[in-house]
Amino acid sequence: MSWVGLPERALDRRELHDLVDGVAASPELWKEHVGFPDAEDGRHYVSLYRDAYVDIWLLCWRPEDDTGWHDHDISSGAVRVVAGALRECNPRIGGEHLETVVSEGESFSFGPDHIHRLTGALESSVSIHAYSPPLWRLGQYSISATGVMRRTSVSYADELRPLDGEAGLASLDSEADEAHEPAENVA
């Protein structure tokens, strides 16, 4: 596999899925970039390839690494776990969030409407990610205890982490919910 021959157009979910599987099968494209920094340094990630239609990333995970809730704005994507395992969690407003462990050798793809959070399920996990069109903006979310979801737009160059003050937002949402309750009938 090489970067030569990629279509000069946006890729669909199936093509992205095939792409991450192909990159995973060609460790000469990514193996030298695998690394696990000190705990304070956060998740290690490297852009492997980017053009006008697709970008491909290598991410290295520890169990304490957490992207927080996010979407990929207008981009579809695919993920292949090449070592260890990742935990993907999908939000369920008013219910229990859906959690899936994606093990070494497994892949998944998604459209631009997909909201999730990823964490390393095992020490020294590694994954390949591809997005089309290339990432430019992402949506970072907080979900309050009352089920209110708030989105903040962030640059693709920013490291995703859980939003600070998510617990603080819950109290603000409670106040906002109370402010929007219908007034009692005073007749």
Specify the number of domains making up the chain: 1
Q: How far apart, in whole angstroms, are the C-alpha atoms of residue 25 and residue 19?
A: 10
Is residue 174 a part of any domain in this protein?
Answer: no
Q: Decide if 110 is inside a domain.
A: yes
Structure token pair of residue 123: 């020490």
Which residues are known binding-site members?
70, 72, 116
- With CA atoms as reference, report the closest residue to 158 among 53, 61, 45, 63: 45
Average pLDDT of the chain is 85
For the chain, what percent of residues have pLDDT higher than 70? 83
Q: Which residues, at least 6 apart from 133, have a Cβ–Cβ distance to it below 8 Å?
A: 10, 52, 53, 54, 74, 75
Range with the lowest mean pLDDT among 33-37, 77-81, 125-129?
Answer: 33-37
Say if 147 falls within a structural domain.
no
**Sheet architecture: strand order including 137-143:** 69-71, 137-143, 149-155
Name 107's bridge partners.
Answer: 80
| 151 C-beta neighbours (distance < 10 Å), count | 14
Any domain includes 127:
yes
What are the binding residues for Fe cation? 70, 72, 116
In a domain, 143, yes or no: no
Give the C-alpha separation, 25 to 30, whole Å: 10
pLDDT digits 0-9 by tens, 149-177: 899 998 887 778 888 544 333 333 333 34
Q: What is the pTM of this model?
A: 0.83
What CATH code is carried by the domain that includes residue 92?
2.60.120.10
Q: Answer yes or no: is 86 within a domain.
A: yes
- What digits encode the pLDDT tens for the residues 94-146? 788 999 999 999 999 999 999 999 999 999 999 999 999 999 999 999 988 88
DSSP sequence for 51-109: -SS-EEEEEEE-TT-B--EEE-TT-EEEEEEEESEEEEEE--TTSPPEEEEEETT-EEE
Residue 158, in any domain of the structure: no
Summarize the confidence of residues 174-187 as an average pLDDT.
37
DSSP character string of 5-55:
T--SS---HHHHHHHHHHHHT-GGGTGGG-----GGG--EEEEEEE-SS-E
Domain carrying residue 28: 13-135
pLDDT at site 144: 85
Strand, helix or coil for residue 141: strand
